[in-house]
């Protein structure tokens, strides 16, 4: 009768451990590739704002913003494909109201800000310059204040920062921050002519920079600016 091969039996637990480890690694890679943002979401908050799985290569290729998130716009998250936005309504300075659909047909840079937000104060003049240079029939900066207690503080804020070319919009219902899944202040969302989100940036940015203007011109469809 032959004796059992103790050496071969001793290697079985080790082999099983290696197989289990490889399976765990494969599982992690699968989850990572399924939920990682397609572009440059280098910060955790950017990843949180990208609930959709990765788009196909075809989806990514058709984005006019592809490759333009660089320099001053390095933190800008390009959506693989346009995303639907919830129906939101903004209050105007004269007490009226405008739904987001009001701007359909125009590219919109929706900036969410508050008077207590120091970075908001720092970037507001750049947003004003962007509106001055590119604002018109094809594009508008829509800056929305989320303070409570009326528009007076917001109006004073715009005057103090020299933002004379930005219209005052507010969110009296206090639902905008949650509706747009905003995770930081300021947050700026780029919306295409169809009213869909094509990208966003969490935190302040130099919106008067050449990179920002190139990004906006590409969204508008200006081939010279997008080149």
Give per-residue pLDDT as tens, 26-58.
433 333 233 333 333 333 333 333 334 333 334
141-168 b/e with 16+ CB inside 10 Å = b? bbbbbbbeeebeebeebbeebebeebbb
Per-residue pLDDT at 55: 38
Per-residue pLDDT at 222: 59
pTM of the model: 0.71
Task: Please provide the average confidence, as pLDDT, over all residues in the chain.
Answer: 78
Per-residue pLDDT at 12: 55
Give per-residue pLDDT as tens, 194-226.
999 999 999 999 999 999 999 999 999 954 333
Separation of first and last alpha carbons in the chain: 81
Q: With cut-offs at 50, 70 and 90, classify the pLDDT of residue 95.
A: confident
- Token code pair at residue 35: 């939920």
**Cα 42-44-47 angle, rounded to 5 deg:** 80
User: Could you give all domains of the chain from N- to C-terminal order, each with its CATH number?
Assistant: 55-226 (3.40.30.10)
């Amino acid at each position: 009768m032959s004796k059992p091969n103790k050496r071969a039996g001793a290697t079985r637990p080790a082999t099983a451990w290696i197989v289990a480890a490889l399976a765990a690694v494969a599982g992690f890679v699968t989850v990572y590739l399924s939920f990682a943002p397609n572009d440059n979401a280098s910060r955790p908050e950017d990843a949180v704002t990208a609930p959709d799985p990765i788009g196909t290569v075809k989806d990514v290729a058709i984005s006019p913003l592809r490759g333009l998130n660089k320099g001053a716009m390095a933190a800008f998250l390009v959506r693989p494909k346009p995303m639907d936005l919830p129906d939101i309504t903004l209050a105007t300075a004269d007490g009226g109201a405008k739904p987001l659909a009001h701007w359909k047909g125009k590219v919109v840079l929706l900036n969410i800000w508050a008077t207590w937000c120091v970075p908001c104060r720092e970037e507001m003049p750049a947003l004003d310059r962007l509106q001055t240079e590119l604002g018109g029939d094809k594009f508008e900066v829509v800056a929305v204040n989320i303070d409570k207690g009326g528009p007076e503080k917001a109006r004073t804020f715009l005057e103090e920062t020299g933002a004379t070319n930005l219209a005052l919009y507010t969110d009296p219902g206090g639902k905008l921050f949650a509706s747009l899944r905003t995770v930081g202040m300021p947050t700026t969302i780029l919306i295409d002519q169809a009213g869909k989100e094509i990208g966003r940036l969490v935190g302040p940015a130099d919106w008067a920079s050449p990179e920002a203007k190139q990004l906006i011109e590409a969204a508008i469809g200006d081939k010279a600016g997008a080149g």
